Chain A
């Protein structure tokens, strides 16, 4: 029972985070939406990266579950296109992170990961995700051409950068605040 609890927690957290950030992105950047599947700023791309880095395969599975939920209004509930998009949403960042970890010689605990390697992993995840999604949308016949590809790629990169640098700012501010409250100079 306890052995199942942790994977379930990781899946649940990943799915919930995806759904929340997906709808938050839709609300914040509604004006930048190009099509229903492409936005010039796509913050959930960062969730894909961070969740897979933290929780590995279970995180990717959670992303698949979360994408199934957010795909409902677009592709229909429990339809084949919806399941295919969800599978790619989970698979793309997982493949990118696993490949990146090998190329950047990162251990399972991410020991030695730097800011630059995190950006490289983010770029790999974005490219992998956009490529696989573009191929799928082409097969499904909902392809919006090179324009959609560019929008998705720019959106994923900008969204990832936005989240990472907001987190960086928060961590730096937190460090300063702790230093100040602990009386250290």
Chain B
């Protein structure tokens, strides 16, 4: 009896361990709002300019600037954006992408290609 209990315990450990390994962190997890802010920033970065923090705070018509600012801080903490002062006017803070941001969008692009390929079959 004890042996079968031990065996089931080892099996449960194995299942839980496999689940944990599958959920090992790769990219920092983003919530829906952070993703939206990051996508908004990427749209501007694609034009070749860095975004002013004040501009970014007014991205969402249905979102308060303070909410966006909190998300910007979160993205900065996760290493997905970099904030720096403008060389022309130190009062202006700009937002630039990091290497991790570029990797994030590359991965998103790969996921999209896979999804398109799978749906075309």
**Chain A residues near B (Cβ < 8 Å):** 2-3, 5-6, 10, 50, 53-55, 108-119, 164-165, 167-168, 171-172, 175, 185
Given A3-B2, A109-B16, A113-B16, A167 contacting B9 (CB threshold 8 A): no
What is the distance, in angstroms, from B29's C-beta to the closest C-beta of chain A? Answer: 10
In whole angstroms, what is the CA distance A168 to B18 when docked? 8
The verdict on B48 contacting chain A, using a C-beta distance below 8 Å, is no
**A to B CB contacts below 8 Å, 10 in the list:** A3-B3, A54-B14, A109-B12, A110-B13, A113-B19, A115-B22, A118-B20, A165-B24, A168-B21, A185-B119
In the A-B complex, the 4 residue pairs with the closest CB atoms: A115-B24, A109-B12, A115-B23, A110-B16
In whole angstroms, what is the CA distance A114 to B23 when docked? 7
In whole angstroms, what is the CA distance A185 to B117 when docked? 11
Given A115-B21, A165-B24, 17 new contacts (CB under 8 A): A2-B3, A6-B6, A53-B17, A54-B13, A55-B10, A109-B13, A111-B12, A113-B16, A113-B17, A114-B20, A115-B20, A118-B20, A164-B21, A171-B22, A172-B22, A175-B22, A185-B118
Q: Is the CB of A167 within 8 A of B21?
A: yes
Q: Which residues of A contact B17 (CB under 8 A)?
A: 50, 53-54, 110, 113, 118
Of B10, B21, B25, most buried by chain A (CB within 10 Å of CB) is B21
Q: Using C-beta atoms within 8 Å of the partner chain, give the interface range for chain B.
A: 20 to 34
The verdict on B43 contacting chain A, using a C-beta distance below 8 Å, is no
The verdict on B7 contacting chain A, using a C-beta distance below 8 Å, is yes
Q: Is the CB of A118 within 8 A of B24?
A: yes
Q: Is the CB of A119 within 8 A of B25?
A: yes
Q: Is the CB of B3 within 8 A of A53?
A: no
Q: Which residues of A contact B6 (CB under 8 A)?
A: 6
In whole angstroms, what is the CA distance A172 to B19 when docked? 11
Q: Which residues of B contact A53 (CB under 8 A)?
A: 13, 17
In whole angstroms, what is the CA distance A13 to B95 when docked? 53
Within 8 A of A (CB), among B1-48: 2-3, 6-7, 9-10, 12-14, 16-25
Contact pick for A117, options B3, B9, B20, CB 8 Å: B20
Q: Which residues of A contact B18 (CB under 8 A)?
A: 171
Q: Which residues of B contact A167 (CB under 8 A)?
A: 21
Q: Which residues of B contact A119 (CB under 8 A)?
A: 24-25
Q: Which residues of A contact B10 (CB under 8 A)?
A: 10, 54-55
